[in-house]
Amino acid sequence: MLPDEAPQQPWLHDLSLTLAAPTQVWSATDGQVGPGGLAGVHHGDRRVLSLLRLEVDGRAPTALADHGARGDTHTFVAVPRHLGDPGPDPTVRVVRRRDVEPGLVRESYTVSSTAAEPVVCTLGLRVATDLASMDAVKSGAAGPTGTPDGIGGHALTWEADSLRAVLRLPGARTADRGDHVLATWDVVVPPGEAVTHELLLTVDDARAAVTAPRREAGWSPMVVDSADRRLGPVVQRSLDDLRLLRLAAPGADGAEEEFVGAGAPWFLTLFGRDSLWTARMLMPVTTDLAMSTLRLLAHHQGTRTDDVTAEEPGKILHEVRSAGFSLGEDDGTERHLPPVYYGTIDATPLWALTLHDAWSWGAPEDEVERLLPALERALTWQVEHGDADGDLLLEYVDRSGHGLSNQGWKDSGDAVRRSDGSRASSPLALAEVQGYAYAAALRGAALLESFGRPGTDRWREWAEGLRTEFGRRFWVEDAVGPFPAIALDRDKRPVVSLTSNIGHLLGTGILDADGVDVVARRLVGQDMLSGFGIRTLSTHAAGYSPTGYHVGSVWPHDTAICLAGLAAEGRPETAPVADALLAALAAFGGRPPELFAGDAASTHPVPMPYPAACRPQAWSAASAVSLVSSVLGLRPEGRDAVAVDPVRPWSFGATRISGLGTHGRPVDIDVAADGVARGGRG
């Protein structure tokens, strides 16, 4: 970086990841780590190693191949071209295998030879750490390297605050090289043999806000066998990534509660919105994840009013970290979020909807009943705090001056724009949040009533008032026709802009039949459906950019939510949106990133990456399961039956889905090539 250049957020689209939350290793595709950018061994919100460079006789070997059968292991193969027999055929290889477990990284370095004579070389590792916080890494402004204890021996130790890391290098010599440590092994490899040395890094953070779960994932082993060869591998890889993203934190009475961390590398912690959406999408696979996520968020449910943390009574939090998290916005504003932050407008209604979904899908009634007081507090928050000005609409504003300026799922500073490109000013009432709140009030009332709880008329009456206000105030028109605005601004004027937000209204009940028809048709217009998913903003808008974070890109989870809404409404647009989403998931090898560029598939036949996007991202990974659920038309009927109504036209050929975990018992579903379904309990 030149002296006059400002630090920039690192890109990671071309990096390799090995993950077992809360530990992650990011490297180049040849396995080398650092220096600079994101590369490193990270644990929680701290970079433990910023340099881990393998050399043979002081030279980096030439990369040959890399592969990883699972997300927690990776193998890199390289050739030290200066060694071995003369001639064009490589006769010496170096195989670097990386395995990650929570709090542990193990690497082995195997030098093998088919050369005619013994190979003599020095295997070296250059190692350093800056112990940078994740927000510092994200800003591109990490600090200097530190000096470990133990140089000269086989074990190096770094400590910072409550974190302690120990790097063990059996048999190696270690020496201080100023800004790094050099570890070396003398290697002699006889013809036809191999020599292996190892590294073992252990990390512990006594004050971590989240940890790895102590038990294995209890999810159903869902398997998809389809004539469409894309479908099975996409689902399998996504479920593997979701297992690797699992985290835990203490809930009520210190009990461990499991959830899925939002995404690697930046958001590997509890996020109310992300963790809830992920749990909702995985409902056909497991209700246990939803219930543990709900309990943990209820444990942190707001009890007081605090402008600094954005806490309010009954509110569900936005995120939890061990320390505060600083981030800048594109207008130069510096934002600093406290360790426990409640600045989200939608997590509270989503919590209520997730509880209702879990109950519908067969979660144990005694567990659901214990959460009903938290449900009542969440519904009260919608009426008394979410609707701060009493106009029957939920709106948000950052009162602290250093929290998130936008507090819906599109939470970047420039996310809410008019079609002319100008930004709307808060307090803002987002369209999709009104749909969430309406559905939460009605479904929450139904759930409370089923358990004999009083006072449900209040929530139903409020919901009907909200629906009336939404219909009166959100509908706008452009040259094509009507659609719901993305939001109302601080003056309660519609923010006229066609966005993917309107797709989240489908299935909530806030739209009448005509409104459903309009929204469904607008979502699949050429300005919205890219061929790989639904764009966050219409290409007709002045502020559209295919690589704009929330203003033109495609987010897989966003498309999956729209798809689920289309399927719930029985719309014919379900099929083309499903085809587009599956094309994107397959293009990324089953590991869809947080977002990607909104370029048309007709222009770019593969989706273009957004370079700083998280991958894996929890709700992006869960979108594969949501896709299957949507195209199958899966829905619970009562608490002891499952309805199956495959999308038409059915384009996946003969398909068998086995091991769905509905109601705690396996369900197998067969769909014939003509789209006729047969399903039964296994």
Reported residue count of the chain is: 682
Tell whether 262 and 177 lie within a shared domain: no
Same domain, 493 and 642: yes
Q: What is the pLDDT of residue 665?
A: 72
Task: Determine, yes or no, domain membership for 227.
Answer: yes
Residues 6+ apart with CB under 8 A from 564: 506, 507, 626, 629, 630
The reply to whether 6 falls in a domain is: no
| Distance separating alpha carbons of residues 383 and 675, to the nearest angstrom | 44
Tell whether 210 is covered by a domain.
Answer: no
- Please count the structural domains in the chain: 2
For residues 193 and 246, membership in a common domain is answered with: no
Residue 503 has φ and ψ, to the nearest 5°, of -65, -25
Alpha-carbon span 129 to 148, nearest angstrom = 9
Are the beta carbons of 620 and 638 closer than 8 angstroms?
A: no
Evaluate whether residue 217 is within a structural domain. no
Asked if residue 583 belongs to a domain, the reply is yes
Q: How confident is the model over 533-566, as pLDDT tens digits?
A: 999 999 999 999 999 999 999 999 999 999 999 9
List the helix and strand counts (H, then E) for the chain.
13, 32
Instruction: Give strand pairing partners of 52.
Output: 33, 127
- Residue 40: alpha-carbon gap to chain centroid: 20
For 187, the domain range is 16-205
Q: Is residue 229 located within the same domain as residue 299?
A: yes
Cis peptide before 265 (omega within 30 of 0): yes
pLDDT tens figures, 387-400: 989 999 999 999 98
Is 465 exposed, middle or buried, given 0-12, 13-18 or 19+ CB atoms closer than 10 A? Answer: middle
Same domain, 85 and 143: yes
105 and 243 inside one domain:
no
**How far apart are alpha carbons 74 and 235 in whole angstroms?**
20
The confidence score (pLDDT) of residue 141 equals 78
Indicate whether 631 belongs to any domain.
Answer: yes
Q: Are residues 200 and 232 in the same domain?
A: no
| Separation of alpha carbons 622 and 617, rounded Å | 9
Q: Compute mean pLDDT per 10 residues along the chain, 682 residues long, and list them.
A: 69 95 97 93 95 98 93 97 95 98 98 97 96 90 85 94 94 95 98 98 94 89 94 95 96 94 96 97 95 98 97 97 76 77 97 97 96 98 95 94 93 94 94 98 98 96 98 97 97 97 98 98 98 98 96 98 98 97 97 97 95 96 97 85 90 93 79 87 40
Q: CATH no. for residue 365? A: 1.50.10.10
522 within domain boundaries = yes
Same domain for 247 and 163, yes or no, is no
User: Strands of 487-488's sheet, edge to edge?
Assistant: 429-430, 487-488, 494-495
Same domain, yes or no, for 93 and 240?
no
Same domain, 495 and 591: yes
The CATH number given to whatever domain includes residue 31 is 2.70.98.40
Residue 200 and residue 341 share a domain:
no
Q: Which of 149, 173, 205 is the last residue of a domain?
A: 205
Instruction: Return the SS3 of 254.
Output: helix
Q: Is residue 178 part of a domain?
A: yes
Note whether 191 and 228 are same-domain residues.
no
The one-letter code for the residue type at 18 is T
> Residue 330's pLDDT is what?
56
CA gap 425, 437 in Å, rounded: 22
Domain boundary among 178, 205, 232: 205
Q: How far apart are CA 307 and CA 214, in angstroms?
A: 36
